[in-house]
Structure 1
């Protein structure tokens, strides 16, 4: 078995589930033809979307004349490219620094592997995934040719290449960061920060009509190429050249660093004494820096969307906002619908932090740190249970801070009743959903660590149901299985919180099951 095949086999869940999800999302163009069946509906939806600052911030500028194909690339394209970028970070770290840090690559090198061979195999895997994404997305879109207005072979191919090149660009940046960062965890964090910065640059470029900024953001490829509008193939060349330069840079850096270390030195020792008395205290101490970073980032995102919601709410009150945003605002109070939508976005982001926190428990077990904790007389189920408790508490902190900030900002820009109370409740009310995510991840990490990559599936499935369920025509009974659509309107006459109690109870039960699963298997060690 070659090293490339070994990497694919070891990370087959990650490399199969994420592309399958993205290709499935690309197969949803028919929903836009059904939603905007007449030219009048399209004209209204396009006009409202082009005048909405929140829509422009999230998806970019919608070009004229607004065919179903253009609306599809505008909305679904934004989600697909963001998810492709996140997948690129996770996959790039998994096939580079992660296999190096857990000791498996050291074992393989003892068999005579040349120093550069592991990086070449990792790059082969990433390029292959980009090719699969491109081919799969192109095929999924072309399946709707002739059924959706505006879908052409050239546009489908252009959008598919945008998705594949976005993945390849972010993966190349992450591979470079993997050579610089002191460990896999730091490389993963830096990669996600790059994705956040790329989104911010793209949002500024589209909101401020600074098109030149889109040329320097991996998430700006969709705006520069304009699939189904201009199909600018030449705009792909800078991204392709940039990825080649980044790959060459990664190869040069890899040859100039020590095995198992990055160009930035690790600071594993401190002169001050670490005073912790419990396993939960140790876990909290180790996660406090990432918790602070996530709190600041999520609070900023929540405040930004709350501050930009007045336009969409007024448009819904004066007319009908179609498409994605219209499905989120619903048929009731537009202010409540928009604040619920903001809470859903915050809940999805915080759930990502929760899943990453629980996957850290698996990495601690592989690195041997869990074994060291157990030598102090701690019971085997305690470390994973402590990680779950700290993750739940940390997510509560993030949601509370974000909820308070949005509650302070929203009443100043949004007209309506109980705006502050609703802002706080819709954000903080996502904690039971986050608890359910923690439970799913704990069950996999504790009872079936080899399947821990599947911890992302409940988050991705629930996010798709919450954000795209109505638009894609998913039955309401199916949408109810998602985690994020159960926060009631606290300003209603009789808000129903039974679903939140069920989510919390399910999360607790899954954590218990995951902790019990640790006691029934051997610990993994790198």
Structure 2
């Protein structure tokens, strides 16, 4: 158990932050009760949701009769399961290949730890985390039973079980892929690729009425189980069996690969000389593959969200959209508000890339690359500052490309004034939010590397305020503390850019503080 407790203590902050966010999302069924005060209002919303292909693509199929609990499981449940799956990929790679690649497991094995013990401990932690999520989500939903119609003990338990098993299934798949991948970065990329395939299978199953596909996707567990509708517990058994098989296969593969390597050979090493003369140039060269992958993914996500909003905008113009999406659209121009919502989603994804990129600089310390750079005579603060500069530029590239593609496609599917310019502005305008995320992460990585896991906390809090602030009735002054939802309407009468300038300035100051802090500590000594 010593190995298990060591991993728990080392990664307790990210685990707690992820769990807190998922649990907070699960406490929102009562918001649907207040959003649709009468049965007629709810019925109208249910009919519209069931006949909207875009809603079905994103959230799945909404069952009848559409109680507050069912609408919660349909809409917020989609976000919860996707967020849980992302958490599973990140945590599974962190507990396995990241700890292996940064040299910490090598030290432990040098102290006599058996070769298979780290993987066994990681699997135990993932199993316990799955149970914690199931219990926490069940309790959060059940606490609203008196304020939301349709919330039952069996339904809450089924919903919690779906969340927990989604985490366990995606984590097991990622751990298996981590044994195949050559590096932690490749394992993370394979994990997110599998997650994208799972979402595609779930979307096809719901839009094409192919229920069998949902049984093959971790994100389809919500549909086959039917929390608050049918509560089919037997539908979870294949998922449990799959977790056991995947975990056992991962153990077998781990015993047949070399430490620090995967079953697939590395192909990112070349004998040719790189003509790089600056620290920024080196950081840019190393960040190029990840930047290309994230650009393609974000452009696809942003364009998809923007292109499928025509039905939602028309419903909002008739005053018929409620719930989560209705809270996002607000009372202004429906087209502008929907594009602002799409921009917020893109900003959250790009900020995730930004934090991962900054944390990559910390891994460079662990692998010794930063030390090799410093012996060439560069300043002690240069690697940290270069990583932040390259990340900021990369975020701007991703947002610009996504905004341009969206601006070209959205006017053909969305009716309204100045759709193209608005789409571009709401997307590129998220760069200050990304800068704020970069600043927070750089400060922690540069000055307090042991607390680098807290770099996710501002992003998670800002995402919660942006996506759930209105739905939960959070005061506006508290919502404004988040990084997102500050982009003004460029077609409005008086667009205010002051909040964006504040975010950019704050990010720049935090980057400078982080770079300065890196000169006052030893490498990876904090």
Deviation at 1:34, TM superposition (A): 2.0
1:427 aligns with 2:427: yes
The residue that corresponds to 2:380 in the other structure is 380
Distance (whole Å) between structure 1 residues aligned to residue 96 and residue 204 of structure 2: 32
* Cα distance in structure 2, aligned partners of 1:231 and 1:425: 44
Aligned to 1:96, the other structure's residue is in SS state helix
Residue equivalent to 1:395 = 395
CA distance, structure 1, for counterparts of residue 110 and residue 405 of structure 2 = 54
3-state DSSP class of the match of 2:522?
Answer: coil
* Residues in 2 aligned to 1:376 and 1:34: alpha-carbon distance in whole angstroms: 63
Once residues 147 and 407 of structure 1 are traced to their aligned partners in structure 2, the CA distance between those partners, rounded to angstroms, is: 42
Matched residue, 1:365: 365
Give the aligned partner of residue 181 of structure 2.
181
Residue 459 of structure 2 aligns with which residue?
459
Counterpart for residue 262 of structure 2: 262
Secondary structure of 1:487 counterpart: coil
What's the offset of the Cα at 1:241? 0.8
What's 2:117 paired with? 117
Q: Distance in 1 between matches of 2:139 and 2:172?
A: 25
Match of residue 9 from structure 2: 9
Q: TM-score, normalised by structure 2?
A: 0.98
In structure 1, the partner of 2:44 is 44
Q: CA deviation at 1:348?
A: 0.8
Q: CA deviation at 1:52?
A: 2.4
**Whole-Å separation in 1 of the counterparts to 2:165 and 2:430:** 34
| Cα offset, 1:15, TM superposition | 1.9
Q: List per-residue Cα deviations over 1:113-138 (Å, max 9, x = no partner).
A: 22222111111111011111111111
SS of the counterpart of 1:267? coil
Residues 87-114 of structure 1: CA deviation (Å, up to 9, x unaligned):
1111111211122112221222223222
Equivalent in the alignment of 2:150 = 150
Counting only pairs closer than 5 Å after superposition, residues 402-441 of structure 1 correspond to structure 2 as 402-441=402-441
Distance 1:111 1:362 in 2: 24
User: What is the rounded CA distance, in whole Å, between the counterparts of 2:295 and 2:17 in structure 1?
Assistant: 29
Deviations along 1:146-181, one digit per CA (max 9) or x if unpaired, are 332101111111000000000000110111111111
**1:191 shift after superposition:** 1.2
| Alpha-carbon distance change, 106 to 274 in structure 1, aligned in 2, over 3 angstroms | same
**C-alpha contact 1:367 1:525 (8 A) present in aligned 2:** no
Distance in 2 (CA, whole Å) between partners of 1:317 and 1:144 is: 31
CA distance in 1, matches of 2:284, 2:335: 37
**Distance in 2 separating the partners of 1:49 and 1:114:** 54
What aligned pairs does 1:209-288 form with structure 2 within 5 A after superposition? Answer: 209-267=209-267, 269-288=269-288
| Cα distance in structure 2, aligned partners of 1:289 and 1:152 | 48
Q: Equivalent residue of 2:504, what SS? A: helix
Are the aligned partners of 1:368 and 1:525 in contact in 2 as well (CA < 8 Å)? Answer: no
CA distance in 1, matches of 2:525, 2:507: 27
SS at match of 1:115: coil
Aligned ranges 1:265-344 → 2 under 5 Å: 265-267=265-267, 269-344=269-344
Distance 1:41 1:471 in 2: 17
The number of residue pairs the alignment matches comes to 526
Matches within 5 A, 1:196-207: 196-207=196-207
Contact 2:76 2:324 in 1 (8 A): no
Deviation at 1:264, TM superposition (A): 1.1
CA distance in 1, matches of 2:266, 2:161: 38
Aligned residue for 1:337, secondary structure, equals helix
Question: What is the CA distance between 1:268 and its match in structure 2?
Answer: 5.0
TM-score, normalising length: structure 1: 0.98
Stretches of structure 1 lacking an aligned partner (at least 5 in a row): none
Q: Does the CA contact (< 8 Å) of 2:21 and 2:464 recur in 1?
A: no
1:128 aligns with 2:128: yes
In structure 2, how many angstroms separate the alpha carbons of the residues matched to 1:196 and 1:509?
A: 36
Deviations 1:155-212 (A, max 9, x none): 1110000000000001101111111111112112221222222222222222222222
Counterparts of 2:315 and 2:56, CA distance in 1: 14
4+ aligned runs moved over 3 Å, structure 1: none
Corresponding position of 1:96: 96
CA contact (8 A) 1:359 1:445 kept: yes
Contact 1:432 1:503 in 2 (8 A): yes
SS at match of 2:203: helix
Per-residue CA distance 1:457-480 (angstroms, 9 max, x = gap) = 111111111111111111111111
Q: Does 1:165 align with 2:165?
A: yes
Between 437-446 and 31-40, report the one with greater CA deviation: 31-40
Q: Give the superposition deviation at 1:525.
A: 7.5
- The answer as to whether partners of 1:60 and 1:74 remain within 8 angstroms in 2 is yes
Deviation at 1:22, TM superposition (A): 1.2
- Confirm or deny: 8 A CA contact 2:126 2:168 kept in the other structure: yes
Displacement of 1:18: 1.1
User: 1:239 and 1:499 mapped to 2: Cα distance?
Assistant: 46
In the alignment, the residues of structure 2 paired with residue 43 and residue 402 of structure 1 have an alpha-carbon distance, to the nearest angstrom, of 36
Specify the SS of the correspondent of 1:490.
coil
Q: Is the 8 A contact 2:173 2:191 kept in 1?
A: yes
Unaligned runs of 5+ in 2: none
